[in-house]
Amino acid sequence: MSAFSLTHAHLDFGHEGTRMTTFPISTARLVLRPFKRGDLAAFTAYRNHPDVARYQSWASYTDADAKAFFAEQQTLRFDTDGTWFQIAAEHQANGALVGDVAVHFFDEGRQAELGVTFDVAAQRQGFALEAVSRVIELLFADLGKHRIVATVDALNVRAQRLLERQGFRREGHYRENIFFKGAWGDEYGYALLNREWRALRQAAAGGTQ
């Protein structure tokens, strides 16, 4: 199942700062941070939109689903092997939750996998590109990951373009490898190496880095 959607306990929200020191991170228009209690309604609403759910595993997303997800996230630490950590993307101008970027750490922490889910109202404005670009920088420049991968529905052209704009190459075409919402579907596998990302950054800077 593709973790990209562009047209992927005890509720204690008082200790985000003690769970991780990497966040919050600011971009030109966004704040990237852990989820908090006040995100619940917006998170549930955008995940319930049919255009958001189209390439995701769920057909509907209930309050109970969201609360269970939030509870699980509160038990996790960023950069823990074998876990998916979800990063909330907040609009700096109005504080609205506009989407999230998921990071799966694997291969004993040497590699990471990305997933992206953004509110329909926030799409086609470059927010997903902005968030993903900063998360990639975090994974490669700050955490030293060797490789980042992503799996995308073969019909999800916008997600493919997002990855390709970041320098990801398509490494695989998985034909009818998933039975998804009543039908067999294809997926594409994408990847980017740390050294490839650094070379792209250097080229973009005119070779001065």
DSSP state of 138: I
DSSP state of 14: S
- pTM of the shown model: 0.88
Strands 111-118 and 147-153: parallel
Is 108 in contact with 117 (CB distance < 8 Å)? Answer: no
pLDDT > 50? residue 15: no
Spatial separation of the C-alpha atoms in residues 155 and 2, rounded to whole Å: 10
Express each pLDDT in 108-143 by its tens digit.
999 999 999 999 999 999 999 999 999 999 999 999
Q: Which amino acid would we find at residue 85?
A: F
Spatial separation of the C-alpha atoms in residues 178 and 127, rounded to whole Å: 29
Spatial separation of the C-alpha atoms in residues 121 and 45, rounded to whole Å: 11
Q: What is the distance of C-alpha 52 from the center of its chain?
A: 13
pLDDT at residue 56, as a whole number: 83
Domains of the chain: 4-204 (3.40.630.30)
Spatial separation of the C-alpha atoms in residues 112 and 60, rounded to whole Å: 27
Is 154 in contact with 183 (CB distance < 8 Å)? Answer: no
How large a percentage of the chain has pLDDT more than 90?
76
